Each structure stands twice: as C-alpha cells, then as structure tokens.
A and B are shown apart, each in its own frame.
Chain A
Amino acid sequence: MSEQTAAQVAVNGAQPSAMRAKAKTLVKNAFGEAWKAKEAGRKICYCFVLGPAELLRCFDMYLIYPEISSAQMAAKKTSLPYIQKAEDYGYSADTCSYVTADVGLYLSGNQHPLGHVPPPDLVINDTLCNTYYKWTEVIHDFWKCPVFSIDHPVRLKRDEKYPYDIEETYQQDKQYVVKQLLELIAECEKLTGIKFDPERFRKNLEFGNQMSALWCEIIDKTRNAPTPFDAVLDGYGYIAGMNTHKGTAEGVAYLEAVKTELDQRIVKGTGAVAEERFRLLWMSAPCYPYFRKIPEMFHQRGATFVYTPQFMQGTRGTYRSKMYDLERPLESYAESMLDYFHGRNPRQAPQWSMGWWGGKDDIRNHLDLMRRFNADGIVFHAIKSCRLNSGGFADLREHLSREGVPILMLESDIADPRFFSEAQVKNRIEAFMEGLEERKYYRARAAV
C-alpha cells in the first residue's frame, strides 16, 4: 500500500467526535437566533469570549462574540472577501485578521455566513488582549454604541522579591476590578431596565463552576492513549460550543454530553486517529481557514494533538483551582479575571501563559505539559496577525530546543487564508515527523 493510501485509511479510519458536530449546531443557532432576540426587544451586546458573559446574562442581553464570528467566517472559508473589504476601506493586512474580517462584516450589511448579525447596543471591552481595545474602538466608530472596558491590571512574574507587598497589590487590583464590575452593572441596568439580581448571577456562576469541573475532566481525558479526541480538531469545536453558552444550563448539558461521548470512546478504545503513534502539544489558536487540513496532515502520520493552552487561555474562568466562590461572587469573578494572567500567586505564572509573563516558569510549564500529556513534541503555530499569541514563540523555541524538546514552528493565520502555503506547511510537517520517527526508532533501539 502506498504511503498516501495508508495515510488516507488512517484518517478515514478514525471515528469523528459527534460532539464536535453538535458544537457547530450550537454556534450556528447562537448566530441564527440573534435577530429574533433583537426583534423580541432584547439588547444586543458584543462581548469577547473572555468577557463577563455570566454577568451580562443577568440582564437578558443577547451576546454576540466577535472572535467567534470572525473564526466562523474563516472556518467556512468565507473570510477573505470580508478581509479584503476592510483592506479596501483602509485597514492594513498587518492588523488582526479577526478585526478586519469583522470590519468586512459591517461593510457587508452585517450579513454573516451564519445569519444576519444585529448591530450592538453595548460593547464590552476586556483588557486581556490589547487588540480588544482597538477592536472596540473600531466597533464604536462604526456603530456609535456605548463601550464599557473592564480593565484588569497585569503584573510581571518576578523571581526576586518585590520591594512592595505583592499581596496588597493583588487585593487593590481586585477592588479596582470589583468597582468596575459595579459600574458595569449600573450601566447594564440603565440600558436594559432590568435590575441586577444577585441570585441570578450566583446561579450563572454555579453553572460556570459546573462547566469548569466538566471541562477539566474533559481535557484530562487526552492523557489516555489513544487520546479520545484531538485537541485541535475536536477541542476547538468544544471550546466554541462552550464559550457561546458560558454560565448556562445549556453549556453544562453540552459539556456533560461531551464527557459522556469521550468516556464511551475511551471504553471502546476509539482514538482521534486510527493508530496513535505520536502525541503533540499545539500552541496557539488554529488556522481557521484550513481548520481540518493542518491537523489532518499530522493525522496522516499517526500524530494527534493532546493539549493546547487555549483549553485554559481561551475559556476564562474554567479552571478547576479557580472555581467561583458563590459566597462572594463579585470578588471571586474579579479574581478570575486577574488570575487569568498572573495566577492567584503572582510569583507563579499560569500554565497557559505561552511565553507572556512567566519568565523562566514558562519554560518549566511547557516541560511539565510534555510530561503530563506524555507528548512527543510541540507545534507552535505562529499567527501572522496575532502578536499576543505568537510574540513569545520564537523565544520559547530557543529555550525548549535546548532542553531537547522537538519543536515545529508553523506560520499561517487565524482568519486570513493568504498566509497559508500548503506546500510549505506540508514540507515542514513532513520534515518534523521524519525527525520524530527517527527519534522514536533510535530510542526503541537504545531500549533493546
């Protein structure tokens, strides 16, 4: 059997996750129902996936997630005309392609491949990513709607002792965020005419906690060999299904269904690929315009992805050790925002830092992940238009290579298909996989 045919069988031999398909339906419905919600008198709020969904839901606002909107355009292979419209309007190809795809959407009468998206009544900015600031300013330019920014300070992880009290700084930062949340509540009350109900908020956080617990169980399942799902191909589907339903009973039900499916796959021994030979970590978001193509190039060689930091990074509030404390919901909510970057203990960088804040801890974290998921190597996906995700990769590669970790650096983009070169990506993947094969061979030989 030729190599190509054998690879094809391997890909086709794997049984796809039904819950990935379900995620598509959830996301599609989230867009499809937006106009109905608008017509029913609900306020439309544009909120980033890391934003305070659980709080905004207390005001019956209908949430639209701009990143998911752009990612969906890309995954449906429709993003390029939108991006080009934005470029014709004046935007540079060097800015975030999520933003330019979104601008193209506004310039196209808000006609999204998944439905007609209503304009916003409110936009929530979240300072976790600097592009969010600019994006909300762009949205403001187009729609002249109110913008509310939730600002959570970030601190650099330090090995040596600070001359000031870190704990005191943390508590002050927390109070700063809590006060902003109170201002947001007042603004939402004014906009919607709905009074804030602390019980409802607590309930949403409780759903959030349930989702968090389920999600942690789910992502741990890739420690099985074979892994029951691929962290990129399936994992990002789950994230989309989850993020559009954060803090809801539907979100909990969805993750329960994911967990059940994965348990069944483990019992049956069903893997993400027919024959799992290599286990890899994927750093960064996927190349949505070729969402299937890149993971499948790995699958053809028996490699699958078992972890991505976006499991945590792209789903704020869903990490087990940071469950919301329902006795002090607002404070706890503020903590989840602050802890996103520097952890409860500012001396300890979070595992999903991807080279942002953790100094040398970032290296240790990657090595820990390799061990924890029994991985054979790391693939860094440098996103052309996302400096936040990709800015630290070259440095991490330098340090991790010195530790003997096999590394592959791929370059493409989250939404702009022009930055994907199939031949180049394929060549690099093949060279990397050959290296892994060789390593495996020599290790096996040395073990005999």
Chain B
Amino acid sequence: MATIDEIVQRCQDQVGDLAFGYVRDWKKRNPQGKVMGYFPVYFPAEIAHAGGILPVAILGGGNRIKLKQADAHMYSFMCSICKSTVELGLSGRLAFLDLFVGSPICDAARHMPNLMQRNVPGLTIDLLYYPGNLRTELAIPYLHREFNRIRQLLESVAGHAIDDEVIRRSVCLYNESRRLVREIYAIRRDSPWLILASECYLLVRAGTFMPVEEHIDLLREVLAQIPDRHARPIDKIRVVYEGAFCEQPPVEFIQALEEVCYVVDDDFLLGSRLIREDVPEDGDPLLNLACSYRDRSHCSSVQHDLRRLKSDDLLAKCRSAEAQAVILSPAKFCEPGLDDQVHHLKRFDREGIPSLQMEFQERMKDFDGVRTQTETFAEAIQFYAN
C-alpha cells in the first residue's frame, strides 16, 4: 500500500502535468468515454458523471506554462488563470475535451469562453450562468432550469439520456467524496501537523480530474493512514487562508506559508467543496443541486448573496478552527477577491483578529518574499501580541 507521502507525490505529479496525462490515459482506458472541462469556481459534476462523462476542472497552467500565444490575445491586466487557460486552449493541450463550460463569474471570465470560441476551432463551448441574485427565491427555479439545460447539453455529448435516477446515484457518490474531504479538513483543524494544507490541497485537487470513485478510494486510503502518521505539533501560529476560490497558488506558495504557520482552514479549490453539506439524495436531483448551491454552500467572492455577509462566514471559519489570524491573499488582478479583501480586512480589524494581506499569482516562482512576510507576521503575533 502506498504511503501518504507517496500518494501526495503522485497527486503532485499529476497536477503539474500540463499534458493532462491522467485524463488522456483515462480516455485510452475508456475509448467510448467523453471528457468535459469546466472553468472554476463550481460545476455540478454529478450531472456529467451520471452521463459517463469525466468532469475535469481546468484550473489554468500553474507556474510551469509559458504564455506563448495568450498574451497576444488577452489584455495585460487579466488574471493569470484566464490567460493560462486560453494558452492551454491555443496550444492544443485541451484537444482531449469534448466540451468546455465556462461561467461568467467575473469580467475576465466573461471574455474567456468567447476568446476560446474564436480561437480554438473544434472545441465545443458553452456557458453556465449562475443566478446573480441569490436573495430571491426565484434563483432556485432559475438554476433548476439552468442545470436541466446543462443536462441536455451533456446528453448531446454523451449520446444518450441522463435520467434522474442515475444522477441521484452520482449525488450519493459525490456526497461521500465531500464527506471524506470534510473529514480531512476536520483533522487539519484539530491536528494540523498530521496532514498539511499543501498535502490536503493536492489530495483535493486530484478530485478535480479523476473519476469520483477513484478519488473516494484515494481519500479513504489517506484517511486510514493519518492516525498512524508520525508527526509532532510545532509551535506555529494557526491561520485561515482566504482568496484562492478560483485561481490557485502554486503548491510551493502554500508550503512557504506552512513553514511558518499551520494553515488550519482555507478556500483552496472552493468549487470542489462549495456545497458544505450533503446534497439530499431523494427527490429531484437537479432541484436538490440548485437548492444546495443557494442554501448549503460556502460563501465565495463570486456568489452574491447579501442574506449573509462573507465576513461572517470567514469569521465563523476562523473561530471554528481556533485560528489566531487570517491571511487575506487574492490572486493578482482578481477584482472580486481584491474587493472582498477590504471587506474582510475591516471586519477582522473590528474583531481584533490580525490579518496579513498579500497577493499571489499562479505563475509566481519566487517564494522568499512570501516566507519573509509570513514570518514577520507570525513573529508579531507570537512575540508581541497581548
């Protein structure tokens, strides 16, 4: 049996593979199988899974891709994930996709699918439009219809109908996967030395490109070994990280933070964990998914729901994780994240909880600055706070 370290290393290799080797292999093993890509934050993967389609999150190119073509097609002040996703398309790396679904979650992401449509011939592209007014009850029937439209789209890719019963079975599987991820997060909150944030990130990230059944096995394997892991607590401050709901920082960035702090909760890969509870397993599955998106989800900077303040959500997260501080770290040029940073900052100032602000970029390669900033912040808390 592989150790946690080996599993995590395997996930890291797969995540860093710009050729999407894992997915291409899956396609070879399943010659009739279809693959759909989606842009973050969230996609109801259950519907694709039910159709026998492998849903793959297209999360940009990280810090290993060179932008050879995208810069000529995209405006300078766009976030890195949009640019590198377009680069993936322009360079033919997404040729294995049978469908790509974008979502206009921000002004940059509004452009991206259209750019792909104009410049990546042969790639079928559509938009999933999430309701922009979650305060109203109208959002649910709207989203129910929208998920139904996506079902029709996926049926055309799969070449067969995707009926409710099959989606219900997929919902059960994804509920199990979400439960296991919640379990890992709970361990991190209780004993962060047993499973690191960077390891957890890679384990969750693996679920964005592998079939949920395999991901469940992987998570179970890890969970079974965590209690026996030899690790001792170190005197580090406990922080919650906020800002990576869409573009993801390099793993080295998370590791740089971890050299100094225990990151006890975060919003990395939020889309995979957006639904915070089980989706009901009986009844109309698409309606259940729509209701869960509105009423059982974590806050994100691109979900607009003034029934609840985003800072309430983050504060609750900090308190439940017994965090001493928060790191507010949106991606460079990420307007929703940058605006929310101020919203959180003011709230945490009022609550007397220290916060560190710093931007990241998926393309960054130098982490000394991150380490130094975090060290200074942590020392201020450890040695000078009351």
Contact = CB atoms under 8 A, between A and B. Distances in A.
Contacts of B306: 137, 140, 147
Contacts of A359: 114, 117-118
B126 interface: yes
Interface string A167-188: 0010010001001100100000
B120 to A, nearest CB: 11
A91 B336 CA distance: 11
Contact of A391 (B108, B129, B135, B149): B108
Contact of B114 (A89, A183, A357, A393): A357
Interface residues of B, number: 61
Interface string B329-355: 000110110111111011000000000
A110 B126 CA distance: 43
Contacts of B77: 94, 384-385, 387, 390
Contacts of A127: 132-133
B111 A392 contact: yes
Interface in A135-179: 137-138, 140-141, 147-151, 153-158, 160, 162-164, 169, 172, 176, 179
Contacts of A360: 118
B151 to A, nearest CB: 9
A385 B335 CA distance: 9
A385 B339 CA distance: 13
B138 A386 contact: no
Nearest to A409: B75
A44 B155 CA distance: 49
B115 interface: yes
B338 A388 contact: no
B186 interface: no
A154 B129 contact: yes
Contacts of B76: 382, 411
B75 A130 contact: no
A326 B319 CA distance: 55
Given A94-B338, A99-B339, A395 B345 contact: no
Contacts of A89: 342
Nearest to B104: A154
- Give the dominant DSSP class at B's interface: helix
A154 B119 CA distance: 21
Contacts of B115: 355, 392, 395
Contacts of A215: none
A387 B111 contact: yes
B110 A394 contact: no
Contact of B338 (A92, A129, A137): A92
Query: Chain B CB within 10 Å — which of A92, A183, A357 has the most?
Result: A92
A156 B135 CA distance: 25
Contacts of B381: none
B133 to A, nearest CB: 4
B107 A131 contact: yes
A358 interface: yes
Nearest to B124: A160
Given A137-B306, A156-B126, A391-B111, A149 B135 contact: yes
A179 B156 CA distance: 31
B336 to A, nearest CB: 6
A156 B339 contact: no
Nearest to B155: A163
Interface of A: 89-92, 94-96, 99, 125, 127, 129-131, 133-134, 137-138, 140-141, 147-151, 153-158, 160, 162-164, 169, 172, 176, 179-180, 183, 355-360, 362-363, 382, 384-388, 390-395, 398-399, 411
28 contacts: A90-B345, A92-B359, A94-B77, A94-B332, A129-B107, A130-B302, A131-B335, A134-B340, A137-B339, A141-B346, A149-B135, A151-B133, A153-B142, A157-B114, A163-B155, A164-B153, A176-B141, A180-B133, A359-B118, A382-B75, A384-B77, A387-B106, A388-B110, A390-B75, A391-B108, A395-B73, A395-B115, A399-B118
Given A157-B114, A183-B136, 4 more contacts: A99-B339, A130-B302, A355-B111, A356-B111
